[in-house]
Homo-oligomer: A and B are copies of this chain.
């Protein structure tokens, strides 16, 4: 079955790159460097439902994206979460957190309104991420 990104995820993000398993997305919210990984498989909802043959790639990609985002942003803490109460398609949030950010030390969800990136503003981060994650 072909993979279709959930419309809410498509609307809220910019595409970064496709890894072997996951599509990597950047949230349109300049308050946090915030990536989302979506396994390109139909019908997954929960974190433990990834198929055995995909598990290695799934965890390796989470680790790699988390490490690279931390390094590129000098984050103080990484948040990794699969919630999916609103968007049922399995997606993993990987968020670089800072003691001065808008939600610290709480979680980022439901805090204020997303602040879109200005023209060209996300390009530097997108470029560095694509360079480091590109297959």
Q: Residues on A close to B: CB < 8 A?
A: 45-48, 55, 59, 62-64, 66-67, 70, 77-86, 88, 97, 104-107, 109-110
Tell me the dominant secondary structure on chain A's binding face. mixed
Q: A104 and B77: CB pair below 8 A?
A: no
Q: A46 and B70: CB pair below 8 A?
A: yes
In the complex this chain forms, how many copies of it are found? 2
Q: Among the interface residues A81, A82, A85, which one has the most CB atoms of the partner chain B within 10 A? A: A85
Pick the contact of A62 from B45, B48, B79, B84 — CB < 8 Å? B48
Q: A48 and B67: CB pair below 8 A?
A: yes
For the complex of A and B, the 7 pairs showing the least CB-CB separation, nearest first, are A81-B81, A85-B105, A48-B63, A47-B80, A48-B66, A80-B82, A46-B78
